[in-house]
Amino acid sequence: MADFQTISKLNPHVSVDCVIFGFDNNDLKVLLIEQFPSTNSVSDRGSMALPGNLIKEDEDLDDAAKRVLKELTNLSDLYLEQFATFGNPNRLSKPEDRRWLEATREIPEARVITVAYYSLVRLERYSPTPSGFAKNATWVNINEVGNLAFDHNIILEKALSILKKDLHKIPAGFELMPEKFTLSHLQRLYEIILNTELDKRNFRRKIIKSGIIKPLKEKQEGVNHKPARFFRFNKKYQEAPDFI
């Protein structure tokens, strides 16, 4: 058992954490789990956290991220992009985190290095349901995220800044918009994620010129204003061009 200790210290554990951003036409949200509390008192609230867990023996990192996300939230079939690795030796040292680790992990004192992934999805397409050590799994508005477990606030911030920077090269539209959509709807996507306002005329000119979308004959129905034309993405584009 002395060996056990020594080795567990020498070898850090490795985990993956997933930052899943969800766009719901009006807000940018992030998928968080509530961990089961480490005490037995019924009234206790567990910490909110990004879905994440230790990787398995001989498991590829990308596979681990998919598996962990599925095990905790039942989400699958989404593309996860690795964006950073966090290994501060004190990243698990908050008292409440320590308690949770002691109640949950086989070797709670082990250091954990985590490889972080992110994704951006259309919220309606994915309905998380909690499982494993997740008591809840919910979409939380990006502006209403409170204190998260471990260093997850730091991880989330970094993910958000990378999302903004790389938005233009995410094959975003394909996943994030319904089959048919209006230009205002698409503009809202960009405005919400980038957290800025864009000029309507300039946005339209630019995106139409890019060729990424195609106008349809159809228009909106049953709206109390001039109905907007629907568009769809041009299938031949795999990547969004640099249009914002």
Using CB under 8 A as the criterion, which residues of the chain lie in contact with a copy of itself when the complex forms? Answer: 1, 3-4, 7-14, 55, 57-61, 82, 84-85, 87-89, 110-111, 113, 115
Q: Which does 84 bind (CB under 5 to 8 A by kind): DNA, a copy of itself, none?
A: a copy of itself
- In the list 44, 109, 124, 199, the residue contacting DNA (rule: CB under 7 A) is 199
CA 74/CA 18 separation, integer angstroms: 13
Residue 85 binds what, of a copy of itself, DNA, none (CB under 5 to 8 Å, by partner type)? a copy of itself
Query: C-alpha 2: how far from its chain's center?
Result: 40
**Interface mask (CB under 7 A) for DNA, residues 139-178, using x and -?**
----------------------------------------
| Separation of alpha carbons 15 and 12, rounded Å | 10
- 225, 235, 236, 238: which one binds DNA (CB under 7 A): 225
* Least gap, CB of 106 to a copy of itself (angstroms): 9
Report the chain's C-alpha Rg in angstroms.
21
Which residue lies nearer to DNA by CB, 9 or 200? Answer: 200
CA angle, corner 49, sides to 19 and 43, nearest 5?
155
**In the complex, minimum distance from the CB of residue 118 to a copy of itself, in angstroms, rounded to a whole number:** 14
Binding DNA by CB under 7 A: which of 194, 204, 237, 241? Answer: 204
Q: How many beta carbons lie within 10 A of that of residue 217, not counting itself?
A: 6
Taking the mean position of all CA atoms in its chain, how far away is CA 153? 13
Closest contact distance (angstroms) between CB of 107 and a copy of itself is: 8
Contact 113, 14 (CB under 8 A): yes
Strands 13-23 and 28-35: antiparallel
**Cβ(243)–Cβ(192) under 8 Å?**
no
Binding site for DNA (CB under 7 A): 182-184, 199-202, 204-206, 219, 222-229
